[in-house]
Homo-oligomer: A and B are copies of this chain.
């Protein structure tokens, strides 16, 4: 949409980095200003207040996650349904700056919502959309599975992803191990759906 290298974008990228380093609740406007190479006053000029910074940054991060989850190398061979599912769920377990920033921010959003009712509605909506996407992908692999079974499997997989991701980021679980557990969970759920198509 807008020019991706304008100053506002620079600040949002800086905000994503600071949040990944300090958390949503550890973000200090002064540190953000230093990270972006601008004054605190300019931050307030663009984002009104602390809450405005957070809202804009979380939108920015959401858009970014959408792009790295959805878009793929156009030269790569097209993925089958199962490959698409695995890509969607395993892409979150990569130790790159962008993915780390996004996962951290998402985890923070989730954790902050426990104490901040203002965040809950947006979060619940985003969660619902995500769960439905995963349910749809599961349905492509097992077209005969019931809608209820698909929805539940999707919810378990996305909730597991959040749990594993937080364990990874908090140093309780090596990244490769988290990936392996997620991958195996996909197998477990898929074989369940395949073996019991009439259930539920």
Where the two chains meet, the residues of A that have a C-beta atom closer than 8 Å to any C-beta of B are 21-23, 25-26, 104, 107-108, 110-115, 117, 119-120, 123-124, 127, 152, 155-156, 158-164, 166-167, 169-173, 180-181, 184-185, 188-189, 191-192
Q: When chains A and B are docked, how far (Å) is the Cα of A184 from the Cα of B23?
A: 33
Asked if A169 contacts B127 (CB within 8 A), the reply is no
The residue in chain B whose Cβ has the minimal distance to the Cβ of A127 is B172
Q: Which of B25, B111, B188 contacts A192 (CB 8 A)?
A: B188
Number of copies: 2
**A172 contacts which chain B residues (CB < 8 A)?**
113, 120, 123-124, 127
Q: Smallest distance from the beta carbon of A114 to chain B beta carbons, Å?
A: 5
What are some 30 contacts across the A-B interface (CB < 8 A)? Answer: A23-B112, A23-B114, A23-B115, A110-B166, A110-B167, A111-B111, A111-B166, A111-B170, A113-B171, A114-B166, A120-B172, A123-B170, A123-B171, A123-B172, A124-B172, A127-B167, A152-B180, A152-B181, A156-B184, A156-B185, A156-B188, A158-B163, A159-B181, A160-B163, A162-B166, A163-B163, A163-B166, A188-B189, A188-B192, A191-B192
- Closest residue of B by beta carbon distance from A124: B172
Nearest-neighbor residue (CB-CB) of A25 within chain B: B25
A155-B181 CB under 8 A given contacts A163-B160, A189-B188: yes
Residues of B within 8 Å of A160, CB to CB, are 156, 159-160, 163
A167:B162 contact, CB within 8 angstroms: yes
Chain B residues, CB < 8 A from A171: 113, 117, 120, 123-124
